Amino acid sequence: MPAAILVVEDDYYIQELIAEFLRAQNYEVDVASDGLEGWGKFQQSHYDLVILDLMLPSMNGYEVCRLIRERSDTPVIVLTALSEEKDQLKAFEEEADDYVTKPFSFHVLMKRVEAVLRRTRVGQSGELLFDGRLRLDADAYKVYVDGKMIDTTTKEFDILNTLILNAGRILTRDMLLDKVWGYDYYGDSRIVDAHIKNIRKKLGISVIRTVKGVGYSLETEVTAVEG
Protein backbone atom coordinates (compact mmCIF):
# COMPACT_ATOMS: atom_id res chain seq x y z
CA MET A 1 0.00 0.00 0.00
CA PRO A 2 1.49 3.36 -1.01
CA ALA A 3 2.41 5.85 1.68
CA ALA A 4 -0.02 8.75 2.25
CA ILE A 5 1.61 12.18 2.37
CA LEU A 6 0.11 15.54 3.35
CA VAL A 7 1.72 18.61 1.74
CA VAL A 8 1.03 21.88 3.58
CA GLU A 9 2.28 24.69 1.34
CA ASP A 10 0.70 28.09 0.62
CA ASP A 11 2.51 28.66 -2.69
CA TYR A 12 0.14 27.00 -5.16
CA TYR A 13 2.80 26.51 -7.83
CA ILE A 14 5.22 24.78 -5.44
CA GLN A 15 2.37 22.83 -3.85
CA GLU A 16 1.27 21.44 -7.22
CA LEU A 17 4.80 20.58 -8.32
CA ILE A 18 5.50 18.67 -5.10
CA ALA A 19 2.17 16.86 -5.32
CA GLU A 20 2.71 15.87 -8.97
CA PHE A 21 6.26 14.71 -8.26
CA LEU A 22 5.12 12.59 -5.31
CA ARG A 23 2.21 11.08 -7.24
CA ALA A 24 4.61 10.18 -10.05
CA GLN A 25 6.45 8.11 -7.43
CA ASN A 26 3.15 6.36 -6.55
CA TYR A 27 2.53 8.14 -3.25
CA GLU A 28 -0.99 9.14 -2.21
CA VAL A 29 -1.04 12.90 -1.75
CA ASP A 30 -3.32 15.44 -0.08
CA VAL A 31 -2.60 19.17 -0.08
CA ALA A 32 -3.45 22.13 2.13
CA SER A 33 -2.83 25.82 1.50
CA ASP A 34 -2.63 27.13 5.06
CA GLY A 35 -1.82 25.87 8.54
CA LEU A 36 -5.39 25.62 9.76
CA GLU A 37 -6.48 23.60 6.73
CA GLY A 38 -3.44 21.37 7.09
CA TRP A 39 -4.15 20.68 10.76
CA GLY A 40 -7.79 19.96 9.95
CA LYS A 41 -6.89 17.42 7.27
CA PHE A 42 -4.33 15.78 9.53
CA GLN A 43 -7.00 15.18 12.16
CA GLN A 44 -9.42 13.70 9.63
CA SER A 45 -7.13 11.21 7.87
CA HIS A 46 -4.11 8.97 8.43
CA TYR A 47 -0.83 10.14 6.92
CA ASP A 48 2.55 8.43 6.86
CA LEU A 49 4.39 11.74 6.38
CA VAL A 50 3.76 15.50 6.42
CA ILE A 51 5.73 17.96 4.29
CA LEU A 52 5.27 21.31 6.01
CA ASP A 53 6.08 24.92 5.13
CA LEU A 54 6.77 27.24 8.07
CA MET A 55 5.50 30.59 6.79
CA LEU A 56 1.81 29.77 6.43
CA PRO A 57 -1.40 31.82 6.69
CA SER A 58 -3.79 31.35 9.65
CA MET A 59 -1.40 29.09 11.60
CA ASN A 60 2.36 28.91 11.08
CA GLY A 61 4.27 25.70 10.52
CA TYR A 62 5.79 25.66 14.00
CA GLU A 63 2.31 25.59 15.52
CA VAL A 64 1.16 22.86 13.13
CA CYS A 65 4.21 20.75 13.94
CA ARG A 66 3.61 21.22 17.68
CA LEU A 67 -0.02 20.10 17.33
CA ILE A 68 0.98 17.08 15.26
CA ARG A 69 3.52 16.07 17.91
CA GLU A 70 0.91 16.37 20.66
CA ARG A 71 -1.24 13.87 18.75
CA SER A 72 1.15 11.50 17.00
CA ASP A 73 4.68 10.57 15.98
CA THR A 74 3.97 10.99 12.25
CA PRO A 75 7.20 12.13 10.56
CA VAL A 76 7.38 15.81 9.55
CA ILE A 77 9.72 17.22 6.91
CA VAL A 78 9.92 21.00 7.08
CA LEU A 79 10.25 22.65 3.65
CA THR A 80 10.87 26.38 3.94
CA ALA A 81 12.70 29.45 2.71
CA LEU A 82 13.88 30.13 6.28
CA SER A 83 17.51 29.07 6.26
CA GLU A 84 18.97 30.59 9.43
CA GLU A 85 20.28 28.34 12.16
CA LYS A 86 17.78 29.65 14.72
CA ASP A 87 14.88 28.66 12.47
CA GLN A 88 16.26 25.16 11.97
CA LEU A 89 16.90 24.67 15.68
CA LYS A 90 13.40 25.89 16.52
CA ALA A 91 11.89 23.40 14.06
CA PHE A 92 13.88 20.54 15.57
CA GLU A 93 12.88 21.66 19.05
CA GLU A 94 9.29 21.27 17.85
CA GLU A 95 10.38 17.73 16.90
CA ALA A 96 10.45 17.98 13.13
CA ASP A 97 12.24 15.00 11.58
CA ASP A 98 14.00 16.80 8.75
CA TYR A 99 14.57 20.32 7.40
CA VAL A 100 14.85 21.25 3.71
CA THR A 101 15.44 24.83 2.56
CA LYS A 102 14.14 26.48 -0.60
CA PRO A 103 15.16 26.55 -3.38
CA PHE A 104 15.44 22.77 -3.35
CA SER A 105 15.99 19.83 -5.69
CA PHE A 106 12.94 17.62 -6.19
CA HIS A 107 15.22 14.61 -6.51
CA VAL A 108 16.89 15.39 -3.18
CA LEU A 109 13.48 15.95 -1.58
CA MET A 110 12.37 12.52 -2.81
CA LYS A 111 15.46 10.95 -1.26
CA ARG A 112 14.64 12.67 2.04
CA VAL A 113 11.05 11.38 1.83
CA GLU A 114 12.25 7.84 1.10
CA ALA A 115 14.77 7.96 3.96
CA VAL A 116 12.22 9.18 6.52
CA LEU A 117 9.61 6.62 5.45
CA ARG A 118 12.21 3.85 5.50
CA ARG A 119 13.25 4.74 9.06
CA THR A 120 9.59 4.80 10.07
CA ARG A 121 8.71 1.42 8.58
CA VAL A 122 11.88 -0.59 9.00
CA GLY A 123 13.83 -0.70 12.23
CA GLN A 124 16.37 -3.16 13.56
CA SER A 125 14.57 -6.37 14.43
CA GLY A 126 14.13 -7.25 18.09
CA GLU A 127 14.13 -5.49 21.44
CA LEU A 128 16.90 -3.95 23.50
CA LEU A 129 16.91 -3.45 27.26
CA PHE A 130 19.19 -0.77 28.64
CA ASP A 131 20.05 -0.30 32.33
CA GLY A 132 17.06 -2.41 33.34
CA ARG A 133 14.68 0.51 32.83
CA LEU A 134 14.81 1.59 29.21
CA ARG A 135 13.45 -0.77 26.52
CA LEU A 136 13.39 -0.24 22.76
CA ASP A 137 11.16 -2.27 20.47
CA ALA A 138 12.78 -1.73 17.08
CA ASP A 139 10.07 -3.63 15.17
CA ALA A 140 7.31 -1.32 16.44
CA TYR A 141 9.49 1.80 16.92
CA LYS A 142 8.38 2.02 20.57
CA VAL A 143 10.29 3.24 23.62
CA TYR A 144 9.43 2.24 27.18
CA VAL A 145 10.73 3.54 30.50
CA ASP A 146 9.89 1.33 33.49
CA GLY A 147 7.23 -0.34 31.35
CA LYS A 148 5.54 2.92 30.34
CA MET A 149 5.49 3.81 26.65
CA ILE A 150 7.17 7.11 25.76
CA ASP A 151 6.16 8.96 22.60
CA THR A 152 9.16 9.74 20.41
CA THR A 153 9.63 10.92 16.85
CA THR A 154 11.32 8.59 14.37
CA LYS A 155 14.46 10.72 14.52
CA GLU A 156 14.54 10.62 18.32
CA PHE A 157 14.06 6.85 18.26
CA ASP A 158 16.90 6.43 15.75
CA ILE A 159 19.26 8.57 17.83
CA LEU A 160 18.44 6.63 20.99
CA ASN A 161 18.70 3.30 19.17
CA THR A 162 22.09 4.30 17.74
CA LEU A 163 23.41 5.34 21.14
CA ILE A 164 22.26 2.09 22.73
CA LEU A 165 23.74 -0.07 19.96
CA ASN A 166 27.01 1.79 20.52
CA ALA A 167 26.88 1.77 24.33
CA GLY A 168 30.30 2.41 25.85
CA ARG A 169 31.43 4.31 22.77
CA ILE A 170 31.50 8.09 22.43
CA LEU A 171 29.61 9.26 19.34
CA THR A 172 30.36 12.71 18.00
CA ARG A 173 27.58 14.92 16.65
CA ASP A 174 28.84 14.31 13.12
CA MET A 175 28.80 10.54 13.68
CA LEU A 176 25.21 10.71 14.90
CA LEU A 177 24.23 12.84 11.92
CA ASP A 178 25.82 10.31 9.56
CA LYS A 179 24.29 7.25 11.24
CA VAL A 180 20.80 8.69 11.82
CA TRP A 181 20.22 11.06 8.92
CA GLY A 182 21.87 8.72 6.43
CA TYR A 183 23.08 11.46 4.05
CA ASP A 184 25.39 14.43 4.12
CA TYR A 185 23.84 17.19 6.20
CA TYR A 186 24.88 20.71 5.23
CA GLY A 187 23.86 22.49 8.39
CA ASP A 188 24.85 23.03 11.98
CA SER A 189 25.58 19.79 13.84
CA ARG A 190 23.99 21.30 16.93
CA ILE A 191 20.63 20.09 15.68
CA VAL A 192 21.71 16.87 17.41
CA ASP A 193 21.76 18.77 20.71
CA ALA A 194 18.15 19.84 20.21
CA HIS A 195 17.09 16.23 19.65
CA ILE A 196 19.07 15.00 22.67
CA LYS A 197 17.41 17.68 24.80
CA ASN A 198 13.96 16.44 23.70
CA ILE A 199 14.90 12.80 24.32
CA ARG A 200 16.14 13.52 27.84
CA LYS A 201 13.02 15.46 28.68
CA LYS A 202 10.75 12.67 27.46
CA LEU A 203 12.64 9.83 29.13
CA GLY A 204 12.89 11.54 32.50
CA ILE A 205 15.91 9.40 33.43
CA SER A 206 19.63 10.15 33.13
CA VAL A 207 21.00 7.66 30.61
CA ILE A 208 22.67 9.91 28.02
CA ARG A 209 26.06 11.31 29.04
CA THR A 210 27.40 14.50 27.45
CA VAL A 211 31.10 14.35 26.64
CA LYS A 212 31.92 18.04 26.62
CA GLY A 213 33.22 19.27 23.30
CA VAL A 214 32.92 15.82 21.72
CA GLY A 215 29.45 14.25 21.72
CA TYR A 216 27.35 11.74 23.65
CA SER A 217 27.56 8.23 25.04
CA LEU A 218 25.79 5.55 27.06
CA GLU A 219 27.94 3.61 29.48
CA THR A 220 25.75 0.76 30.75
CA GLU A 221 25.55 -2.64 29.06
CA VAL A 222 22.69 -3.49 26.72
CA THR A 223 20.77 -6.77 26.87
CA ALA A 224 18.88 -8.28 23.94
CA VAL A 225 15.34 -9.30 24.92
CA GLU A 226 14.27 -12.71 23.67
CA GLY A 227 10.73 -14.00 23.15
The share of the chain scoring above pLDDT 90, in percent, equals: 35
Side chain identity, residue 219: E
On the question of pLDDT at 23 being above 60, the answer is yes
The residue extents of the domains of the chain are: 4-120, 127-218
On the question of pLDDT at 41 being above 90, the answer is yes
Per-residue pLDDT band at 115 (split at 50, 70, 90): confident
Range with the lowest mean pLDDT among 109-113, 116-120, 124-128?
A: 124-128
| pLDDT value of position 122 | 43
| pLDDT value of position 125 | 47
The share of the chain scoring above pLDDT 70, in percent, equals: 87
pLDDT tens string 2-15: 889 999 999 999 99
| pLDDT value of position 222 | 54
On the question of pLDDT at 136 being above 60, the answer is yes
| pLDDT value of position 183 | 55
Per-residue pLDDT band at 185 (split at 50, 70, 90): low
CATH class of 127-218: mainly alpha
- pTM (predicted TM-score): 0.61
pLDDT tens string 202-213: 998 888 889 888
Mean pLDDT of the 208-223 span? 78
Q: Which residues are paired to 76 by β-bridges?
A: 50
Domain spanning 4-120: CATH superfamily:
Response regulator (3.40.50.2300)
Mean pLDDT score across all residues of the chain: 85
Classify each residue of 179-207 as buried b or exposed e, where b means 16 or more C-beta atoms within 10 Å of its C-beta.
bbbbeebeeeeebbbbbbebbeebbeeeb
Q: Report strand pairing: 222-225 vs 127-130.
A: antiparallel
| pLDDT value of position 116 | 79
Mean pLDDT of the 167-188 span? 74
CB of 52 within 8 A of CB of 18? Answer: no
